[in-house]
Structure 1
Amino acid sequence: MKRRRSRRPAAKLVLGPILHARGTQGDRWRVAVCVVMGGEEEPPDLQVEGVGLPVPPRFLHDWGEVDRTAGRLRMWRYDFAVPRGLLDGRVAYGFLYQEERWHFAVPGTAVPTRIAFTSCGGSEDESEIPRHGLSRNARWAHLLGRHRAEPYHLLLMGGDQIYADGLWEHVPALAEVAALSLSRRPSVTSLPDDLDLQLDVWYLATYRYTWGQAEAAAVLASVPNFCMWDDHDIIDGWGSHPVELLDSPAYRAILAAATRAFRLFQLGIAEDDPAETVWGAEHDDGDYSQGLILNDVGVLAPDLRSRRRPDRVMSAGTRAALPDWLDRFRECRHLLVMSSVPLVFPSFGLLERVLNFIPGRQRIEDDLRDQWRSPTHAEEWSWFIRQLAAFSRETRCRVTILSGEVHLASVGVIRGLDLEIWQLISSGMVHPAPSDRLVRGMERLAARQERLFDGLTLEMPGFPETGRKMLPARNWLALTTGPDGELVAEWNAEGAPATFRRVITRM
């Protein structure tokens, strides 16, 4: 009898698989898998353990033949749900008729929830990483090792997943704009016809480079992620530049291309099929605020970049919808609020005011305007804190803020009568720490307790393990729910002999 040969798909895996968490649905855990494939053929169905029938691919995007070796590049998505039990499960998945399999953990309903948080997955100048004596992917490798020993259910990625700033040097259609000063760039109104294509190819290449690294790729294929972007996923300082620059033709084209890439890679959605977790789509066009609940832990990721302007962080639609979004977490014990830029952090307002008196625009001004504590955002900052405080007091749900962006680790807390809102900062995964001089300045600013409004105070307790407010080392954060409703936070810092630990009790 003639042996039947297995069919082999013509499509070639170029990037992925990338797992996206879609939340719980009854007793099932919903997941999406995205892949970038090369070739003319449609990729094969996905075989998922616990799912009765093979899962067909859904087409998301076509970049065309932009890679001579891989051919035509297209992105596809597979959507499925796997059953949950009291204890954790483990699911294998892979392409039909192929032997390779990947695995991920299915969160049990009666076990501690295990979450990893990362940010800043690149650098403005990657050549500086070896100059600091660092291995680019050391923290990714560390996270992967921890995951293999005790799997994580969810990977939260809090911003700057990629660093796209190199487009000024590598996108030929932007050469004329890149040669000008910031103040003169809005004057360029005629741009090459293929600018959009060149930008799409640039963001594709940047994601392929960043997420194609072996260590990061292994994590993304084995832990469902939940992402919110920040400025470097677009360009440095997006939203904090002058309005005339943000509204110029070149910058609008950059935002449009970055948004297309963000939707595809970080959210796993095309333009016509927003995921149920993207709550912002319900209220405000162009807002990608997201929410998800896993067991008794809620995650809210407001979009602080898509509609950002120099005088605001959130769009009007986001602010209007926030109370309703918070109400959806009423039954949770903990609510994790992802704010790419720390909400609880020392203020650099005095430095920003000094720079305002210097003629011209200083390079650091955009970075200062990016901060929540910028005087420009004072009203919006206090409004946001009041919203979180009112929700926590009314529901007795503990609110903890997760942030990155500042390239070090730290802990902050806002306290008041019967209230504590904790801030956990973990950054960066790849980006080196700031200079010693800058860290010393932040230490001094963080040393004093601030009196806010409504009887609230702000302080930076720091780390008992070192006696310092700031931890200037690359790091990632592990979060685990405890038996008494507590949340255990552990920073995994480069060069440290052990984790840095803080326990946040339930209200």
Structure 2
Amino acid sequence: MVFLETMLESKLNPLVALGRSGSLGLAGFVNKFNADAELLDDLNDHWTSKAHKRERNWVIEQMQNYARARRVRVTFLSGDVHCAAVGMLKTLHQGKEPQIPPSQDYRYMLNVVSSAIVNTPPPNAVLTMVSSLATKTHRTLHHMHTDETMVPLFDRDPNGQPAKSKYIMGRRNWCAADWDPSTGDLVFDIRVEIEKGAGRTHGYIVRAPPPRWNA
């Protein structure tokens, strides 16, 4: 993510230069306010952007302390990046230590990413690049004994075709949240548009289990 930001900020980026000159039909690649790459504003909204990463890591650590002390499940609901995805934080698994079940792991936190239904997704090239980072090992939080990854939620597109990415869905979407009284789970149903403007959606469900660790 930081690499992509740096590339788009560079004055040597040929796509930005062509967009500013209006050549090759790339005028839409830059915004009309300051002629920066249009996608740069969206990337700066990501909580893993270089402008937010230190603050983001601090917030996660504070939420872990709060979850452990108060025995509550913390889940992040975010958006404005024009796609759907689910990130996951959990206790870092090292060596032969047994993995902690999500219900007993106070570090287990979902980051449910949705977006306003009116927002169109980023270009396929950007989605492909971000998707390629989904399985990458991120060591940013290892000093906090925390691992971060993404949930392979999207096995198929809403139209039934094989999904281009299991981790990021580049379609307009919205999210509904509910509580399952039979399990205590928080249930997040990401509703993804099947066909643009048709008013029909397909749901992808992810669950956050209730806290079952000892305070």
Q: Which residue of 1 aligns with 2:205?
A: 501
- Give secondary structure in 2 for the equivalent of 1:506: coil
- Give secondary structure in 2 for the equivalent of 1:394: helix
Do the aligned partners of residues 497 and 391 (structure 1) sit closer, same or farther apart at CA in structure 2, a change above 3 Å counting?
same
Q: Which residue of 1 aligns with 2:98?
A: none
Q: Which residue of 2 aligns with 1:375?
A: 50
Q: Which residue of 1 aligns with 2:186?
A: 487
Q: Does 1:435 align with 2:98?
A: no
- Give secondary structure in 1 for the equivalent of 2:77: strand
- In the alignment, is the contact (CA less than 8 A) between 2:42 and 2:80 conserved in 1? no
Work out the CA distance in 1 between the residues paired with 2:121 and 2:191. Answer: 14
Q: Which has the higher contact order (CA 8 A, sep 6+)?
A: 2
Q: CA deviation at 1:409?
A: 0.8
1:385 to 60, 69, 74: 60
Do the aligned partners of residues 370 and 362 (structure 1) sit closer, same or farther apart at CA in structure 2, a change above 3 Å counting?
farther
Q: Which residue of 2 aligns with 1:308?
A: none
- In the alignment, is the contact (CA less than 8 A) between 1:355 and 1:362 conserved in 2? no
Q: Which residue of 1 aligns with 2:175?
A: 477
Q: Residues 193-215 of structure 1, C-alpha deviation per residue, up to 9 Å, x if partnerless?
A: xxxxxxxxxxxxxxxxxxxxxxx
Do the aligned partners of residues 490 and 367 (structure 1) sit closer, same or farther apart at CA in structure 2, a change above 3 Å counting?
closer
Aligned length: 160
Work out the CA distance in 2 between the residues paired with 1:429 and 1:357. Answer: 31
> Which one has the largest radius of gyration?
1
Work out the CA distance in 2 between the residues paired with 1:437 and 1:356. Answer: 17
Work out the CA distance in 2 between the residues paired with 1:447 and 1:362. Answer: 33
Alignment TM-score, normalising by the size of structure 2: 0.66
Q: Does 1:416 align with 2:91?
A: yes
1:462 to 133, 143, 152: 152
- Tell me the C-alpha RMSD between the 2 structures: 2.4
Alignment TM-score, normalising by the size of structure 1: 0.30
Q: CA deviation at 1:368?
A: 3.4
* Letter aligned with residue 479 of structure 1: A
- In the alignment, is the contact (CA less than 8 A) between 2:193 and 2:202 conserved in 1? no
- The alignment-based identity, stated in percent, is 29
Q: Does 1:350 align with 2:3?
A: yes
Work out the CA distance in 2 between the residues paired with 1:393 and 1:401. Answer: 16
Question: Which runs of 5 or more residues in structure 2 are unaligned?
Answer: 18-33, 93-104, 157-164, 195-199
Q: CA deviation at 1:383?
A: 0.8
Q: Which residue of 2 aligns with 1:397?
A: 72
Q: CA deviation at 1:427?
A: 1.3
Mapping of residues 163-312 of structure 1, within 5 Å = none
